[in-house]
Amino acid sequence: MTQQHYDFDLFTIGAGSGGVAASRRAGSYGARVAICEESRVGGTCVIRGCVPKKLLVYGAQFADAFADAAGFGWTVGETSFEWAKLIAAKDRELDRLEGIYRKLLADSRVALFEERGRIVAPHTVEVGGERYTAKHILISTGGHPIVPDIPGIKHAITSNEALDLPTLPERIVIVGGGYIACEFAGIFNSLGAEVDLVIRRDKILAGFDDDIRTALMIEMEARGIRIHRNTVVNRIDGFGDDLEVVFGDGARRGVDRVMFATGRRPNTRGLGLDAVGIACDGAGAVPVDEWSRTAVPGIYAIGDVTNRINLTPVAIAEGRALVETLFNDNPISMNRDGVPSAVFSQPPIGTVGLSESEARRLHGGAVDVYRARFRPMKNTLSGRDEKTMMKLVVDRATDRVLGCHMVGPDAPEITQGLAIALKCGATKKQFDQTVGIHPSAAEEFVTMREKVPEPEEAKAAE
């Protein structure tokens, strides 16, 4: 039987973090690899998401540093901020990172096609009018922001445009209660803009632990962010930077920018999936199994385009697991239990494991909860009244820690270490036996001893 010849062993569509990671590793194992990208190499995370957003968060945090300095004996003179300088510095860093990504692909002997690709037949990808065959095709095209179809929506921006605004808005309405909305609300607020956050529900961050949601809302409002609960935007009137947002109850607010952060959708349109028999789900995502295999042999998908856990490190892990399976005789399916995450709000959030409500649902309510809320040491001299909140959720039957949650400075950095403990199955007793680093906020996770009363007991006490 004659073995079929292909142009490539792996052809990756989409050069974001997951696609680049998979392609590089496959190339390092000697596979003949190609990757195509219609935009910039680096994808959402490097170009339009995590990295530029975090750089803006760092820039915004200097407002707190200047304000807090006096309490520690510093005399800070008149300060000023230039949005254009921050954006220019951010753009230079993105150029540098894109150059690194390109070099990594080249060093791994991955052929880069800088045009849109689509699947035209099993084992066949068309790029720039040329067709190439591949034994394996990997879809890693990520996702994009979506906005509702309301009158005047053409005046709105998304997170994509928010990262490249020519000027800092003086007044902005941000629609949405997810992590992107909360992060940009913190950025613009700290840099001096008037911020209104519009959410359809009574709390932000659906899906997060309820105490986390409450704690962050308290601190956001204390910083001057106006949160409009149970509210929708009906339309946007005006032109250019002179806009008026009309809410569902008829109230109006004049602003110079309106940003929608109301969800994202997988980039599957125009990929040719129907032609090869891949039917996307209702959200537009590519259905895959635990090995990232689609319904068509030889075609795989990873990252946000699958709408599983839409985080950059997850896409990278999925890509590497796939390549280990296909090209290194080392079958791996990614374990998605205990994936930590962060919200780079102000103050930030770190979380790993189950929320309290999830734990009670999955463990029949038999869980113990430990919670601490305190003023960090730094704030005692600065005069800042902002509080840190930490929480542990523990399985009562086994004493295993099921969830760790934090709102406060350095929460993402602290949570990364806790994620290792949860992955190892750490118990509350082991947390208790761990010596804390003093003085630090992180030590609170190993010194919490008092259980939060059960919901029924708390109601009875009211």
Q: Where are the domains of the chain?
A: 8-144+265-327, 153-262, 341-461
Angle, in degrees to the nearest 10, between helices 179-190 and 50-69: 40
Angle in degrees, CA 60, 235, 223, rounded to 5: 25
Q: Pick 341-461's CATH classification: 3.30.390.30, 3.40.630.30, 3.40.50.300, 1.10.287.610.
A: 3.30.390.30
Give yes or no for a contact between 336 and 288, defined as CB atoms under 8 angstroms apart. Answer: no
Q: Which pLDDT score is estimated for 81? A: 97
User: Looking at 123, 228, 363, 438, which residue is catalytic?
Assistant: 438
Are domains 8-144+265-327 and 341-461 of this chain identical in fold? no
Cβ contacts of 77 within 8 Å, gap of 6 or more: none
For residue 235, give Cα distances in angstroms to 148, 169, 440: 10, 20, 47
Q: Which long-range contacts (CB under 8 A, 24 or more apart) does 77-85 make?
A: 81/168, 81/191, 81/192, 83/165, 83/167, 83/168, 83/191, 84/166, 84/167
| Nearest one of 340, 394, 372 to 448, comparing CA atoms | 372
Question: Alpha-carbon distance 104 to 125, whole Å?
Answer: 23
Q: Pairing mode, if any, of strands 367-374 and 388-395? A: antiparallel
For residue 123, what are its two tokens?
A: 């084992």
Q: Which pLDDT score is estimated for 459? A: 60
Token pair 């004049």: residue? 254
Question: Alpha-carbon distance 430 to 7, whole Å?
Answer: 54
Token pair 């209702």: residue? 282
Q: What is the 3-state secondary structure (H, E, C) of the chain?
A: CCCCCCCEEEEEECCEHHHHHHHHHHHHCCCCEEEECCCCCEHHHHHHCHHHHHHHHHHHHHHHHHHHHHHHCCCCCCCCCCHHHHHHHHHHHHHHHHHHHHHHHHHCCEEEECCCEEEEECCEEEECCEEEEEEEEEECCCEEECCCCCCCHHHCECHHHHCCCCCCCCEEEEECCCHHHHHHHHHHHHCCCEEEEECCCCCCCCCCCHHHHHHHHHHHHHCCCEEECCCCEEEEEEECCEEEEEECCCCEEEECEEEECCCEEECCCCCCHHHHCCCCCCCCCCCCCCCCECCCCCEEECHHHHCCCCCHHHHHHHHHHHHHHHHCCCCCCCCCCCCCEEECCCCCEEEEECCHHHHHHHCCCCEEEEEEEECCHHHHHHCCCCCEEEEEEEECCCCEEEEEEEECCCHHHHHHHHHHHHHCCCEHHHHHHCCCCCCCCHHHHHCCCCECCCHHHHHHHC
CATH of span 8-144+265-327: 3.50.50.60
Cβ contacts of 329 within 8 Å, gap of 6 or more: none
What architecture is domain 153-262?
3-Layer(bba) Sandwich (3.50)
Instruction: Give this prediction's pTM.
Output: 0.95
Question: Alpha-carbon distance 101 to 313, whole Å?
Answer: 16
Task: Give the pLDDT of the chain (462 residues) as one tens digit per residue.
Answer: 335 799 999 999 999 999 999 999 999 999 999 999 999 999 999 999 999 999 999 999 999 999 999 999 999 999 999 999 999 999 999 999 999 999 999 999 999 999 999 999 999 999 999 999 999 999 999 999 999 999 999 999 999 999 999 999 999 999 999 999 999 999 999 999 999 999 999 999 999 999 999 999 999 999 999 999 999 999 999 988 899 999 999 999 999 999 999 999 999 999 999 989 999 999 999 999 999 999 999 999 999 999 999 999 999 999 999 999 999 999 999 999 999 999 999 999 999 999 999 999 999 889 999 999 999 999 999 999 999 999 999 999 999 999 999 999 999 999 999 999 999 999 999 999 999 999 999 999 999 999 999 886 656 555
| Nearest one of 256, 327, 319, 257 to 292, comparing CA atoms | 319
Q: What is the length of the chain?
A: 462
Give yes or no for a contact between 244 and 255, defined as CB atoms under 8 angstroms apart. Answer: yes
Tell me whether residue 438 is one of the annotated catalytic residues: yes
